[in-house]
Structure 1
């Protein structure tokens, strides 16, 4: 049983052939699916490699997929195709010829060698938008010396500059917790694809959309570029501080940490009063942001004299709504916070093989007239093979033959 159907989203009517795996590609196509696109996930006969990645529910004996796969493949349909066979390649070509968008994240050249180069596909489907996300981009947009290097989240975080400005001190670069080296490029690719959708509606011509994971991460770290260009400074990790703003970072609480961000002197004045230090709002040594940046440690000590002896909840009562503030949440605290409940950001879905539904993150983009939604759980491997093939014009005998030949599952 699938999750109860919801109204179609803003992208209803678009058909996407999803040839992606791991995180960056599937995250992009899931966003399209969340907003109504018909995303057909074309998998190998053994399935996307993340199907075997946990966590799994304790009572799930089926183990068709775990939490990783569930979290980035909802709202999609699955067909299993063996692209090593001619019949399997014919199936894929038939699906692409009727599609609006193809998304893949293989290494550069893989699809070309299989006979699915963009230049080939556009001959029979000139409206096709072909989206790619690779570690170092596609040679069509500029051939990187690293074009054939495999890449994952940590690689793009490292080479895109993000790790180089993150860490407890200037000598300790640190990996960002979530896979932003994948999800940021996914968002960029999604934007590129939707820009191309707008263009094809005007001209009838599709195009190739290329995102390098490293490029996307660098774009999100924009200040390291202008800092170096304007001043010659090579940015380094700042710990829980900010090089240009103060106070702006994390501060110790009795039961964890809180974030406080006073990007204006007006906010600083309110904070100084709230922590019992109104004198620091008028003292020339602390009244301006420039002065506070020069005396960061003294500012931090003054704030932590207030926060370190109070719980996150007590600090929230004192500062919430007055200055930019937020407690550093654990996942348990997120689950308990009413904000995420009323915003539909913790969504319950069926987990095949388990008697208990599971929770995944919801849709963050809220549209008033055509809202996105988690309409269906992630698909089981080849769950929709027949309906997809019927929709592509195949009949029962064709499907039986394809299965006998091992071209589809």
Structure 2
């Protein structure tokens, strides 16, 4: 019996040849529509290499490197713009290979390397209010420009929902969160801080945290002062129901302006309301039931103000002839209702952009810290819903 016929040796040789064939054909198996040349390069047929990949197989960094004739780390340097430089020729080959193969880097893999997910969270109190829509759009624009995506949550003015969203955002490993806490319950803010997640606060001052706010106190003062200058002395105020810090600040401004004018506010002229057109309509009808109604009403936001105007009109009152109305926020609809709504204009887009820039700068600095507070001015937008009392 020859050595080649010994069963154990024969089986070993057979297995070795099978392994050699597997290794030789490994690259070609990735591209079944390509031919391997003697020098090891792949010669594609008419189909693209992306189409030639095995069905349902995800393109990898190694595939890109093989097609671009570079090492895998070079592909990473091109995608991440560093840390090492890549020649113009190699970069072009890598980019062409990425486009040809339709390669998409793994966000999970990148986050493991950089400890960042390039995502930020945003929790707003009222998704139906266009005021927050404009602010959200500005936040998303800045984030996208800087390579981040935004995960949006809607708290419905409820601190328990705000906390739940904070917990979910932590589980998603976001790099930072923009919060708009309307109430005095700061547990969501503290929860994120304990989790080591950078937070930026919009629309209120929270000691020790970076904040972007509008001058809410001055806003309430401006609206009231305008009506006083028109000659009104009976000025009602619709505040937001619940523990809203912005509503409290506006009411303080309202009371200060009345005090300076020597006017005492009437208790039954300060009414609470939920946010929204329907809520504004409902609360306005409460004024109509009073034995003596005010000659002007300041509403917590434009949605409430527009709803109130509808109720007054349906009751036979002319706005502003019989009763004047002022809102807050200056949403787009304020210019289109009849009469156009006089309101306090807020820098919504500026606030959103400032919050996004502040958060991303803090995230990229690698520090959880305090970046100061920015207070942005508001102004009176005079239109047609407020006039001198008759």
Question: Could you state the TM-score of these two structures normalised by the residue count of structure 1?
Answer: 0.28
Larger Rg: 2
Richer in helix (by share): 2
Q: Which has the higher contact order (CA 8 A, sep 6+)?
A: 1
